[in-house]
A and B are shown apart, each in its own frame.
Chain A
Amino acid sequence: MATEKDFLTPVLPTWCPGCGNFGIWTALRQALAELGLEPHQVVMSFDIGCCGNGANWHQVYGFHSLHGRPLPIAYAVKLANHDLKVITISGDGGGYGEGGNHFIHTCRGNIDITYIIHNNHRYSLTTGQSSPTSEHGAKTKSTPDGLIEYPFNGLQTAITCGATFVAQGYSDEVVHLKELLKKAILHKGFSLVDILQPCVIFNEKNIREQYKQKVYKLEETDYQPTDKITAYQKAAETEKLPIGILYQEEKPSYESQLPQLAKMPLVKQEVKKEDISQLLEEFK
């Protein structure tokens, strides 16, 4: 059986020392190993940016795609081979900005993909511009006078658009995050795990202190993730930040509703000359 070390490549991370991404990386590797998965059974598609560079140190079938585009890649991989576990990694910029349209419509389809957002509220690899989740008034390199817009709420959007598993995690709560990711991966349908991730370079200096004070675990409250309205309200909290599953429901996944896939995955069907004589009838 694979251990978390089997999900490592020889490449060492290029992330900054102290980056929140390390916690996500560790939690994910542990989650995959604890779920009994082997590296070749997992496909991960990656956004561009700090999180996307992680493609190089995840030992799985990887697809490091273009900025904002890892979801359609993952979507098709799942349709081509639904035996695979498919996980997509994006940042808040790629996931909610450049790839916002894909995000909305992938939620609608409820395809069985786990979507992990490394949410550091900044474009960090391009050296610190504002992102769709940056706070109102944020002074960044691209908004020196302060950001006029209000932040995009990925959790609320996912609930609205039909995602069937919506969760918030915190990268420093590695054990909690690992358990959350396991549940998300096991969930049959589209799961979003939006992870609060400190950027030690472009967030405020005391970002970890802030998260430490604000973050609380939903499992330690009597919250039940079964109602869209309360989940929507929970997702709006900013003074305190809930981590755990905000919303979950059982609904048929996209690929499970395709009769074409009922017998076996597409990729396992032999590629050969097909008889088209029946189709030709309609052209006579």
Chain B
Amino acid sequence: MKTSKNTKPSKIFTYKIGGIAGGGQQVAGLIFTKACVRGGLYTFDSSEYPSRIRGGLVTYRVSISDQPVNAIYKTTQLLIALNREAFDYCLPDMTKDGVILYDSDKFEVKPGETKGVKTYPLPLAKLATQAQIKPIAGNMIVTGACAALLGYDLEILNEVIKNTFADKGQEVVEMNITAVKFGYQYAKANFDVDKFPYKLKPINKNDQSIIVTANDTISLAAVACGCKFFASYPMTPASSVLERLASWAHLTGMVVKHPEDEISAMHMAIGAGFAGVRSMTATSGGGFALMTEALALAAITETPVVVIESQRPGPATGLPTWTEQSDLAYLATAAHGEFIRVILTPGDPWEAFYLTTQAFNLAEKWQIPVFVLVDKYISEGHQSIDQPDSKKFNIDRGQLLSDEQLAKLTDYKRYQFTKSGVSPRAIPGQKGGVYLANSDEHEEHGLTIEGFDALTRIKMVDKRAAKLAGVLKDLPKPKLYGPKTAKLTLLGWGSVKGPVLEALKVLDKVNYLHFSAAWPLDKAEITKQLKGVKKIVVIENNHDGQLANMLEQVGVKITQRLNKYNGAQFFPEEIIELVSKLK
């Protein structure tokens, strides 16, 4: 992560734009965010939207700071309400000294309605006519007005617009630049911009940071570490992995397949893994429900496979475009029979990159299925981060037999009993390596056995289970953030990391133990890390407290659980308030 010498709590500015779906607020918001990052600022954004394509409320929210920012904040300083619904929904989060811009061609704000929060009308349709631009570029008038209020550099904004619309032609670029300029001048002339207390200043005009979601970094990581096959059926919020990898296929040489269903997607990922290619699939909880039988198939055939699961609130269709962390317990026990699987749980896009590269290594080294478990909040929310560093990961394909090694073997046993549980792999096409990958229980060559051969059955189960010791050694250890000793230790996994880290900037004598691998749990390691900890508070974006339950099973005594399951992630402010009460 980016680091800064300045460690005092930073000022956070949060901007939110809301209107009907298809109104361009996500595009406008992201352009403004990019302009901030290009200017060396740090951002974290998130979008709320319904499960429909046109109409309905859509919001885009971004928190901006001159220090690294790990979450979006609830408290909003600048709101752009493009319709009444957005105004009503977003108003409660406004600070007293903030400003609301609203589309006065769409609705009127009555006196006293905002309880003292300053409002400025922005008649977008009329302004678009005056500026001689198409109504579709009205969102850029808004962006220009925001830049005026914040005192932000128009040049950087124009650069981002040029890049964003370059492939749509010069005319579109110019129209958007005209719109921004018009909005900027209109605000200068009609709003009291000097009185707006929040200003943003670029600190570095050519910052090379990237603005990415966890789905983006997962896709980038898959390419970077040699994944050559990806099969996936679209499902929010995992779909953008499929879209990204498909759009890059000509460049990367990856084969990207969108098959008939998730059942097929997972079996294809396994088939490609069996054939010797690094392979992956991606889905959400409901899609993974269909993949579950194949998880067991990967396990008994000891075929490496990487599964990206981006959670949304369940059960069943649940809240398709919202967020939750409610699939951990499911993945830890999914499919019948007993076998090892790994669940990596990155907390942000940066971690998602490196854990995805690690997922491929773990899958191939231990010949097991490995999950990267994320959720809508980080799968679709963007964070500004440094570019990933290829020196910070390695490629470990595990035990693959060469043609020469195979030629020396007179009796190749694909499932040879070994101490580590891992047996060297041959790849179809290699001479001397012919074997059967068998969903039936099998002997060392892969040939089916019956329960009459009980000894082989026991040895084969033990062989697969023996991998656990080695797997645990290879997993990332829980990482402590904040002071070494504290009155209260927060404990979590996945995307709660961001808002918790923000809360730690304010909370005194509180630290956070982050689980980047939530399964399998290493009892010895956890016991060591929690030695002497006074209060353990497990924070999760779910109802049951799934990690808390699992930790109790390995003997951890939990003081308190903090759970949120309304479809949204935690905000730093909420954590600060909840934890302050517990201390």
Q: Which residues of A contact B (CB under 8 A)?
A: 9, 11, 38-41, 43, 45, 48, 53, 55-56, 59-66, 69, 71-77, 79-81, 83-84, 101-102, 104-105, 258-261, 266-267, 269-276, 278-280, 283-284
Contact = CB atoms under 8 A, between A and B. Distances in A.
A33 to B, nearest CB: 15
B387 interface: yes
Contacts of B269: 76
A71 B263 CA distance: 11
Interface string B345-389: 000000000000000000000000000000000000000000110
Given A81-B275, A84-B429, A267-B277, A59 B434 contact: yes
Contacts of B431: 38, 40
Contacts of B228: 80, 266-267, 269, 271
A29 B487 CA distance: 72
B528 interface: no
B297 A66 contact: yes
A76 B276 contact: no
A81 B267 contact: no
Residue of A41, A60, A64, A84 with most partner-chain B CB within 10 A: A64
A284 B220 contact: no
B297 A284 contact: no
B216 interface: yes
A77 B439 contact: no
Interface stretch (B135-143, B244-252, B462-470, B545-553): B244-252
Interface of B is mostly: mixed
Nearest to A75: B268
Which 3 pairs of residues, A with B, have the shortest CB-CB distance?
Answer: A76-B271, A80-B275, A72-B267
A283 B297 contact: no
A241 B427 CA distance: 41
Contact of A73 (B209, B229, B270, B436): B270
A59 B294 CA distance: 24
Interface string B207-234: 0111110001000100111101101000
A284 B291 CA distance: 35
Interface in B256-300: 257, 259-261, 263-265, 267-272, 274-279, 293-294, 297
Contacts of B208: 284
Given A66-B297, A105-B259, A267-B277, A53 B223 contact: no
A275 B395 CA distance: 14
Contacts of A269: 228, 253
A14 to B, nearest CB: 9
Residue of B272, B275, B393 with most partner-chain A CB within 10 A: B275
Nearest to A98: B263
A79 B436 contact: no
Residue of B163, B279, B448 with most partner-chain A CB within 10 A: B448
Contacts of A80: 228-229, 255, 271-272, 275-277, 279
17 contacts: A41-B429, A43-B275, A55-B436, A60-B434, A62-B437, A64-B440, A75-B257, A76-B231, A76-B269, A77-B275, A79-B272, A81-B429, A105-B264, A267-B275, A267-B277, A280-B210, A280-B220
Contacts of B261: 101
B255 A79 contact: yes
A101 B251 contact: no
Nearest to B349: A283
B578 to A, nearest CB: 34
B307 to A, nearest CB: 14
B62 to A, nearest CB: 15
A271 B397 contact: yes
Given A61-B434, A77-B272, A79-B255, A272 B226 contact: yes
Nearest to A261: B255
A205 B428 CA distance: 42
Contact of B447 (A9, A45, A61, A84): A9
Interface in B443-495: 446-448
A45 B448 CA distance: 15
Residue of B254, B277, B434 with most partner-chain A CB within 10 A: B434
Contact of A56 (B216, B231, B437, B448): B448
Contacts of A279: 220, 223, 248, 251-252
Residue of B277, B440, B446 with most partner-chain A CB within 10 A: B277
B433 interface: yes
B356 to A, nearest CB: 12
A81 B395 contact: no
A260 B38 CA distance: 34
A258 B434 contact: no
Nearest to B426: A61
B204 interface: no
A43 B163 CA distance: 48
A260 B275 contact: no
B186 interface: no
Contacts of A59: 434
B437 A64 contact: yes
A71 B265 CA distance: 11
B566 to A, nearest CB: 30
A66 B226 contact: no
A38 B432 CA distance: 11
B395 A77 contact: no
Nearest to B296: A66
B258 to A, nearest CB: 10
Given A73-B268, A266-B277, A53 B448 contact: yes
A283 B211 contact: yes
Given A43-B428, A267-B276, 9 more contacts: A56-B436, A63-B301, A65-B439, A76-B269, A105-B260, A267-B277, A271-B395, A274-B223, A276-B390
B129 interface: no
A45 to B, nearest CB: 8
Nearest to A76: B271
B83 interface: no
A104 B260 contact: yes
Nearest to A63: B437
Contacts of A272: 226, 395
Contacts of A102: 260, 263-264
Contacts of B297: 65-66, 69
